[in-house]
Structure 1
Amino acid sequence: MRALLFAIIMVGAASCTQRAADYQQVLHDPVLYSKVTGQLTDVITYDIFSPPVASRIYAYSHLAAYEAAVRGDSSYTSLKGQLKGFSEVPTPEAGKAIDYPYAALMAFMEVGKTLTFSKDLTDKIVDSLKMLAQDHGMPAGMKQNSEAYGAAVGKAVLAWSKKDNYAQTRSAAKYTVPSDEGKWVPTPPGYFQAVEPHWKTIRTIALDSCNQFAPPPPCVFGKDATCSFYKMAKEVQDTVVNLTEEQKAIASFWDCNGFKLNVVGHTMYATKAMTPGGHWMGITGIISQNEKADFNKTVYSFATVSFAVMDAFIACWDAKYTFNLIRPETMINKYIDPNWKPFLQTPPFPEYTSGHSIISTAAATVLEHIYGAQTPFRDSTERAWGLPDRSFQTPRQAADEAGMSRFYGGIHYRPSIFVAREQGINVGNYVITKLKMRKELLASK
């Protein structure tokens, strides 16, 4: 009887030991990386960062994760020396055991928690990751080494981020709203001031300059009913007045308005949502999981998409504040119908070109390079906002729909969407071509 009891105890102890030492299975799970990215998106949404600023947070956070992860995978190449001024990345100390996926998660959060405001929220994410490592049996020395290395890589990326002119844009001269006819002015209901008017001065990730893929000038402004500009605005008005239920669903699904001011009678209240960049972070996670990408390929996918999104925002904002084009809402209310309202709330920055179209197409272009053009997926990113999933046969189909959502929403003229689409293709292709990250692709570059 004692022998049987001893055997049962030993089997139980062995099974406990086995369960307690599965840290690789848990921490190397690519779904965990996507989940942590989603948790950072929740913080970015809570802190109400503008779309361009959110793209910066994603790009630097994923860069840190990538740089930590590639140290343990010879099939990927560091971006040290490839990015402008990015020359200081710590190397692991010889002889110290490091779990690189765990270090990548720590590097990601080192940057994410520094560039956001809600430290209580980011601390909980970090603490939960540390608890996972502890509870699933990561050796204490490896855990300590991995956390230290992840923090060191994160700090190196943060040091590089401080040289991108972001701090200078916080104290740059106040933007003066143009007084010329046909130029952008603040729109109802909040009449907010222009968002990030100096964003074109932010250092790009891969692009040589903010205007490397500059768009042609927009249609010449005109208020006569026979001119092209008037007809372009009239098309927006007529479309919104006659929206189908499907067009309304498309506009709502891709709204991604980080701070929407709602007006009900005499009451105003604000609601939050994730930014367009956050939406594409979600899509990247979905596609990576569908395609069964391993941990490092998932990190690579997020990093490359985030680089394209950040550069696309910089290129777009250069165009927006170069041309300062009037929004459809202002044009229609002033010259066609004073009572017309767009289906979506007009965002507080100039019209040309469409930000959603350029960043969505840039992201989709990168994803097609990584996973193939024919990559169907079901987009579930908007469930938290009560919106049903939408299915797409390709990333490009989703990007095209995202762009057209702004036309259905009444906040963009049609040409701005198509011009931005071409910009996005150029940005996405350039990011993939210029950055040498996967060794298997170097021969084709």
Structure 2
Amino acid sequence: MTRPDRLRIAWIASIVVVFGVAPGARRATAAASDNVVLQWNQRMLQAVGNTRFAPMLTARALAITHTCMYDAWAAYDTVADGVYWTRDMRQPAAEHTQAARAEAISAAAHLALVDLFPSQASLFDMLLSSLEHSTPGIPGMIGKEACQAVLDSRRQDGSNQSEDLYPGSYSDYTGYMPVNTVDANLDPNRWQPLMTPSGAQQFLAPHWGRVQSFALTSFDELRPEPPPLYPHGTYIKEANQILHASARLGDRSKMIAEYWSDGPASVTPPGHWNLFAQAVSRRDGHTLDEDVKMFFALGNAVLDASIAVWDCKRLYDYARPVTAIRFLYGGQPVRAWGGPRLGTRIIDGEQFRSYIPTPPFAEYVSGHSAFSAASAEVLAAFTGSDLLGLSVTFPPGSSMIEPGLTPAAPVTLTWRTFSAAADEAGMSRRMGGIHFESGDLAARVLGRQVGSLVWKASRQYFDGTARAW
């Protein structure tokens, strides 16, 4: 494990409840009393980091795993409907015990996760064994049946996990080719791959807008207006905003950008909001039944957000700030961050670089902004309040990009509300130099719309009005 990976884990472990529903500040980290939903969510996020799963793949995996758990749990509820039930699976009321629910949930989660992360099977086997659910009884068989129905439905959902559309799991099957190359910017409005230490970037999952959603019926009503195109003045203005932010980078803005970066070997942006949900569960003392519902809605919110975002990324194929700034100011002196430990200086515009790594896909719209807005919408709706009340403190020198130097003094980030956290997540992408203002703000609106639709659909399953048996 690299030093940046260890630092990410340390940062996450330092999240604390600083105010909120529960009396007294306390750590929001894993506890011995965590219910099986939380334990399986934690184990899945560990697998995400181990396998360096991409954000959109993580979103889908969260949705599938928590839908499997939800559909298994619903068989032991008097009202709720399963999403993918192929028959009425509701068990007799006398069997609706917490022990039966826990066993059904564990069997479903294990089956889903082994399917999604086959290389991590031992990780899931260990948890199943520790929960004493390795030998399934009737609840375990019900859980497996419920999960298998979900997996069967998702075999041909457009993700290409099963290589049903093109060789290579999750590989593109749409024939996408970038207009620009690493060496030639033929259109300053379009995405340009960058050269990295591991080679030229490849657009990650350009097919993702075609994946089957949970609650979206049409993109026409959700899809934002096109981004500003060169030579429009807004294109130049937003590029200048990134330059100015780069030149003004201080310890606080650097740590905000780093905290929310959620790059490779992290839990990714969708997983980040699951960590917040774990903290909320512990803060509010959630029951098993409450967490089944909350994580189900949250998982499907980040899935649908990923689909709506990648629909935009593929449709608009928009340039990243680094491309726009190098195009506008190549061969001219600009004032910007000069690189790790170099501070702000005058550089050639062609040498501009973002503070956090620029991801390998188009800019418009921001995935993190949409994931965060959708998650904030669902979590506020579920808890009945926008209150979050979490904080994290970075010790001096704990930066992943400028270790030993940044920050010079402790930096504390505090999020009183889900909305404040979501807004900071969006802003962090501008501070990091990888998103324009329009890409951030449009994604926030899109994410809120997606979250609202997912919450509405989720409630219909919760109250048994989604389908009749």
Q: Same fold (TM over 0.5)?
A: yes
Aligned-residue sequence identity (percent) comes to 26
Displacement of 1:115: 1.1
Q: Does 1:78 align with 2:81?
A: yes
Find the aligned partners of 1:200 and 1:212 in 2 and give their Cα distance: 15
* The structure with more radius of gyration: 1
- Asked if the contact 2:74/2:82 (under 8 Å) is kept, the reply is no
**Deviating more after overlay: 165-174 vs 422-431:** 165-174
The 5 Å alignment of 1:5-44 reads 30-44=34-48
Alignment match of 1:280 (pick from 267, 273, 282): 273
Aligned with 1:282: secondary structure?
Answer: helix
Alignment match of 1:394 (pick from 407, 417, 426): 417
Aligned with 1:91: secondary structure?
Answer: coil
The match for 1:340 is 352
Alignment deviations for residues 11-64 of structure 1 (CA, whole Å, 9 cap, x no partner) = xxxxxxxxxxxxxxxxx9554421321111111221122111111111010001
The match for 1:208 is 217
Q: Does 1:185 align with 2:192?
A: yes
Find the aligned partners of 2:88 and 2:109 in 1 and give their Cα distance: 15
Displacement of 1:289: 1.6
The match for 1:25 is none
Alignment match of 1:59 (pick from 59, 63, 67): 63
The match for 2:386 is 374
The match for 2:283 is 290
Aligned with 2:360: secondary structure?
Answer: coil
Displacement of 1:379: 5.5
The match for 1:231 is 237
Q: Does 1:431 align with 2:438?
A: no
- Asked if the contact 1:47/1:117 (under 8 Å) is kept, the reply is no
Find the aligned partners of 1:368 and 1:381 in 2 and give their Cα distance: 24
**Deviating more after overlay: 236-245 vs 172-181:** 172-181
Aligned with 2:414: secondary structure?
Answer: strand
Alignment match of 2:373 (pick from 351, 361, 380): 361
Q: Does 1:318 align with 2:327?
A: no
Aligned with 2:58: secondary structure?
Answer: helix
Q: Does 1:146 align with 2:145?
A: no
Find the aligned partners of 2:444 and 2:456 in 1 and give their Cα distance: 18
Find the aligned partners of 1:355 and 1:381 in 2 and give their Cα distance: 25
Find the aligned partners of 1:429 and 1:64 in 2 and give their Cα distance: 22
Find the aligned partners of 1:37 and 1:211 in 2 and give their Cα distance: 33
Aligned with 1:347: secondary structure?
Answer: coil
Alignment deviations for residues 308-327 of structure 1 (CA, whole Å, 9 cap, x no partner) = 10001100001111111110
Aligned with 1:437: secondary structure?
Answer: helix
Alignment deviations for residues 291-341 of structure 1 (CA, whole Å, 9 cap, x no partner) = 111111111111101101000110000111111111001111232111211
Alignment deviations for residues 227-278 of structure 1 (CA, whole Å, 9 cap, x no partner) = 22112101101101211211111100000012xxxxxxxxxxxxx2221011
- Asked if the contact 2:36/2:105 (under 8 Å) is kept, the reply is no
**Deviating more after overlay: 356-365 vs 101-110:** 101-110
Name the CA shift for 1:364/1:160 in 2 (closer, same or farther; >3 Å).
same
**Deviating more after overlay: 162-171 vs 285-294:** 162-171
Aligned-residue CA RMSD in angstroms? Answer: 2.9
Find the aligned partners of 1:229 and 1:203 in 2 and give their Cα distance: 33
Find the aligned partners of 2:156 and 2:444 in 1 and give their Cα distance: 30
How many residue pairs are counted as aligned between the two chains?
Answer: 385
Q: More helix per residue: 1 or 2? A: 1
**Partner AA of 1:255 in structure 2:** S
Q: Which structure 2 residue ranges, 5 or more long, are not aligned?
A: 1-31, 181-185, 330-348, 401-410
Find the aligned partners of 1:332 and 1:375 in 2 and give their Cα distance: 38
The match for 1:156 is 149
TM-score (norm: length of structure 2): 0.76
- Asked if the contact 1:195/1:349 (under 8 Å) is kept, the reply is yes
- Asked if the contact 1:357/1:424 (under 8 Å) is kept, the reply is yes
Displacement of 1:222: 2.0
Aligned with 1:133: secondary structure?
Answer: coil
The match for 2:109 is 108
- Asked if the contact 1:211/1:315 (under 8 Å) is kept, the reply is no
- Asked if the contact 1:312/1:424 (under 8 Å) is kept, the reply is yes
Displacement of 1:109: 1.9
Find the aligned partners of 1:48 and 1:308 in 2 and give their Cα distance: 21
- Asked if the contact 2:67/2:150 (under 8 Å) is kept, the reply is yes
- Asked if the contact 2:36/2:102 (under 8 Å) is kept, the reply is no
- Asked if the contact 2:74/2:90 (under 8 Å) is kept, the reply is no
TM-score (norm: length of structure 1): 0.80
Displacement of 1:151: 1.6
Find the aligned partners of 1:188 and 1:345 in 2 and give their Cα distance: 12
Find the aligned partners of 1:302 and 1:63 in 2 and give their Cα distance: 9
- Asked if the contact 1:30/1:293 (under 8 Å) is kept, the reply is no
